[in-house]
Amino acid sequence: MVNWTHILRAQIFSIKCWYKNNRWMLISTFVWPYLMVGTLFGVGLTLGSIDEYARKVGVANPALYLLASSVVAMSSIYIMYSITGFILQNRWIGTLPYIFLSPVKAHTIMIFSGLPDAVLSPALTTTAILPAAIYFEGVTGAWRILIILLIIILGMLPLMGLSVIIASLLLILKEESNVMGSIIPFMLLVSGVYYPLEVLPRILQLISRAVPTTYVIEATKIVSTYLIPEARLLMTALYMIGLLTLGYNLMAASAIAKLDRIIKYRGAL
Amino acid sequence: MSIAIEADNLVKSYITRLKSGFLRRKKRVLEALKGVSFTVNYGEIFGLLGPNGAGKTTTIKILATLLLPDGGRARVAGYDVVNEAEKVRDSIGVTLTVEKGFFWKLTGRENLKYFGMLRGLSGSRLDERVDYLLEMLELKRLGASDRFYEEYSLGMKARLCLARALLTDPPILMLDEPTLGLDPPSAREIRNLLTSLADEGKAVLVTTHNMFEAELICDRIAIIDDGRIIATGRVEDLKRRVSNRIAVKIFVSNPNFGDLARLEGIVGKVGFGVDDTGRAYIRFTCEPGSEDRVIADIIKFLGETNIRVFRVDVEEPTLEDVFISLTGRTGES
Ligand SMILES: Nc1ncnc2c1ncn2[C@@H]1O[C@H](COP(=O)(O)OP(=O)(O)OP(=O)(O)O)[C@@H](O)[C@H]1O
Ligand SMILES: [Mg+2]
């Protein structure tokens, strides 16, 4: 019987073909983190000095931190992009019904079709910033980046269920716009990527505690400063990610089964 | 003969929202199926024939488990389409609209491999199957196997679509208008393929609004109109049921319509038309057995009025005549 491994393998195959047939995509993947950080630096320098920023955010090397945290923040949410994007894109080109003809449950298809892209994208980006990390900090820099990649992937897990719910709603509402465009900036805002959480209003600080990206960023800060006494804080952050994974996906599980039915009832395929 | 597909009183309504303002929308219920029942056996081609909007695609989608019915039941390969959907999907090959449904930036071969993997195929078995299908559907001969889908012609797209439906060599095929938009030779090839698949013992459910095609390949048909099945049976039986007359078509030159109108005094209701080659004809029906006498009378009459006769065709009533008499609407386009 067909299971999730088949879906995963098919998706990896299609991504492989896609990059093979579209080499420019691969190149742009390596370039964008630098463009983004360059812009951020430019804007930042007009507002204050690097030292001041480093002191406020509390990291030793602001260049590496900014580079890493931008990538981290975007990447850990990328699973939401890749799952909803998968659904929307395949509906546009008419492949969606044929994908859902695979003899597995609809949400299995959604999760495992979005996963390879969600993991691959940060992996490529991480590879892209590796030279910068080595330039600034040598081999330790490289190790830190790899650990951060692992944290990013962990950070995706809590968002899996949520992504499937959003993707299902897009199908049911026959909505063509990708709502991720407005959800993602909000999540970045409350997760303290570009400035300390303390400057946020009280209510947003509370919300930020429930957003997984917050802990991913926290863990990233710790790893990028790499102080031994803070190892315990790192464990706390990872523990919170684990907890949110469990909580979010349990909540999503019951909704997903219902959404499967509504999708097929509404004629959304 | 065992049953492959069994639809029992399927009912389906769509809820649509008509835009009536920037954000305001009016709800409207559209009854697409109002109780559709039929069975398809292994080894036969069964045609679901009906005009646009009759509910053909809706029926296929329900049987393929892509859409849940509001009422009624259906079994495919012995499994319930609602409660055993995964097992149903494992037993079928499906084509919906043939002109899309593949990745543009992948080649035909890559596309087939992707969909094969989604159906659980892998390794050399997948490679061989894909290769075999590319060959069988002539995509190799057309040099299309390793070209990007975005460069495909409609005919190539339709072939690739059929190849995908056959990836797992399923016992049951559900094909929604598989020859739509194809040129006559391609359509004929596809029809021949369907016939040989049915001869292998597969159950083939095809939808079409093309009466000519349905007559050519279907062992049995169901005529669907406005969400209801209005007739089911073998094509010959259906024709016998609605018409026990014989159709005569006489091709003529320099027709003088004033004179031709007087023909109605001899044979009753007469139709005039022009065929695709631009040749004028008159068409009428008469009692079986009386056609020789009637034709002789008419040719004599035409001779007297200086109208030349090119050819006389005596035809069986077509499926189109059946459809017209059942729905009370002409199939004239
Ligand atoms: N997803 C949908 N939402 C709302 N209405 C729909 C939907 N799909 C089909 N319909 C409506 O249901 C009716 C039956 O449609 P269906 O596609 O089954 O017809 P069909 O027989 O396949 O027609 P055609 O020959 O044009 O393909 C039509 O009135 C159509 O507008
Ligand atoms: Mg249709």
pLDDT of residue B78: 95
CA distance B132 to A212: 49
Which of B13, B19, B31, B58 has most ligand 1 atoms within 8 Å of its beta carbon, as the pocket-test mutant?
B58
- Average pLDDT estimate for B16-41: 84
| A212 compared with A71, residue with greater pLDDT | A212
Q: What is the ipTM metric for this complex?
A: 0.83
The protein residue with its alpha carbon nearest to ligand 1, atom 31, reads: B53
* B114/A13 CB distance under 8 A: yes
**CA neighbor of B36 nearest in space, from B75, B85, B71:** B71
Phi-psi region of B97 (alpha: psi -120 to 50; beta: other; left: phi over 0): beta
pLDDT of residue B11: 96
pLDDT tens for each residue of A207-249: 888 888 888 888 877 776 655 556 777 888 888 888 888 888 8
Closest chain A residue to B111 measured between Cα atoms?
A14
- Average pLDDT estimate for B152-179: 94
Asked whether residue B237 carries a pLDDT value surpassing 90, the answer given is no
- Average pLDDT estimate for A148-155: 86
Name chain B contacts of A13, Cβ cutoff 8 Å. 110, 113-114, 117
Q: What is the SS3 assignment for B278?
A: coil
* B164/A98 CB distance under 8 A: yes
- Residue partners of A89: CB distance under 8 A and separation at least 6: none
- Average pLDDT estimate for B285-303: 81
Nearest-neighbour CA in chain B from A256: distance (Å): 16
Taking the Cβ of residue A24 and every Cβ of chain B, the question of whether any pair is shorter than 8 Å is answered with: no
pLDDT tens for each residue of B53-112: 899 999 999 999 999 999 999 999 999 999 999 999 999 999 998 888 999 999 999 999
Q: Which of A1, A12, A14, A89 is the mutation pick for testing B, counting most B CBs within 10 A?
A: A14
**Ligand 1 neighbour A265 (Cβ under 6 A):** no
* A264/B65 CB distance under 8 A: yes
Range of the domain at A167: 4-266
pLDDT of residue B331: 41
* A269/B61 CB distance under 8 A: yes
pLDDT of residue A43: 67
- Average pLDDT estimate for A84-108: 91
**CA neighbor of A84 nearest in space, from A182, A150, A217:** A182
pLDDT of residue B294: 83
CA distances from A85 to A115, A160, B57, B290 (A): 12, 14, 26, 68
pLDDT tens for each residue of A183-210: 777 777 777 776 777 777 888 888 888 8
Closest chain B residue to A103 measured between Cα atoms?
B86
Asked whether residue B268 carries a pLDDT value surpassing 80, the answer given is no
Asked whether residue A156 carries a pLDDT value surpassing 70, the answer given is yes
pLDDT of residue A79: 84
| A4 compared with B209, residue with greater pLDDT | A4
Question: Which atom from ligand 1 is nearest to the alpha carbon of A266?
Answer: 1
Asked whether residue B330 carries a pLDDT value surpassing 60, the answer given is no
**Ligand 1 neighbour B54 (Cβ under 6 A):** yes
State the distance from the centre of ligand 2 to the C-alpha of B145, rounded, in angstroms: 28
**Domain count across chain A:** 1
**CA neighbor of A163 nearest in space, from A213, A100, A115, A206:** A115
**CA neighbor of B120 nearest in space, from A264, A161, A109:** A109
pLDDT tens for each residue of B299-313: 888 888 888 888 888
Question: Which atom from ligand 1 is nearest to the alpha carbon of B209?
Answer: 25
